[in-house]
Structure 1
Amino acid sequence: MFHKEGSKIIFITLLLVVGVIFATDFIAIPWLKTVLILIAIVFLVLVLQFFRNPKREIDNSDNHVLAPVDGKVVVIEEVYEPEYFKDKRLMVSIFMSPINVHVTRYALNGVVKYSKYHPGKYLVAWHPKASEENERTTVVIDNRIYGEVMYRQIAGALARRIVNYAEEGMRVIQGKDAGFIKFGSRVDMYFPLGTPIDVVLGQKAIGGKTVITKK
Structure 2
Amino acid sequence: MFHREGQKIILTTFFIVVALIIASQYFIDVEWVRWSVQIGGWVVLILILQFFRNPKRLVTPNFDEILAPVDGKVVAIEEVYESEYFKDNRRQVSIFMSPVNVHVTRYAASGTVTYSKYHPGKYLVAWHPKSSTENERTTVVLHTPKFGEIGYRQIAGAMARRIVNYAEEGEQVTQGQDAGFIKFGSRVDLLLPLDCDIAIRLNQKVVGAKTCIAALRKKND
User: Given the two structures, how large is their TM-score scaled by the length of structure 1?
Assistant: 0.99
Name the residue aligned to 1:93.
94
Identity %, equivalent residues:
63
Kindly report which structure 2 residues correspond to 1:68-147, keeping only aligned pairs within 5 A, or say none. 68-147=69-148
Name the residue aligned to 2:199.
198
Give the CA deviation at 1:208.
Answer: 0.3
Kindly report which structure 2 residues correspond to 1:177-192, keeping only aligned pairs within 5 A, or say none. 177-192=178-193
Between the aligned partners of 1:64 and 1:127, the Cα distance in structure 2 is 28
Structure 2: which amino acid aligns with 1:203?
Answer: Q
Question: CA-to-partner distance for each residue in 1:120-170, whole Å, 9 max, x for gaps?
Answer: 000000001000000000000000100000000000001110000000000
Equivalent residues of 1:50, 1:100 under 8 A apart: yes
Corresponding position: 1:61 with 2:62: yes
Q: Give the 3-state SS of the residue equivalent to 1:196 in structure 2.
A: strand
Aligned length: 215
Q: Which runs of 5+ in 2 are unaligned?
A: 217-221
CA-based RMSD of the aligned residues comes to: 0.6
Give the CA deviation at 1:194.
Answer: 3.0
Q: Give the 3-state SS of the residue equivalent to 1:131 in structure 2.
A: helix
Name the residue aligned to 2:219.
none
Between the aligned partners of 1:23 and 1:58, the Cα distance in structure 2 is 46
Question: CA-to-partner distance for each residue in 1:150-195, whole Å, 9 max, x for gaps?
Answer: 0000000011100000000000000010000011200000111232
Between the aligned partners of 1:87 and 1:144, the Cα distance in structure 2 is 20
Q: Give the 3-state SS of the residue equivalent to 2:203 in structure 1.
A: coil
Between the aligned partners of 2:132 and 2:19, the Cα distance in structure 1 is 41
Equivalent residues of 1:59, 1:209 under 8 A apart: no
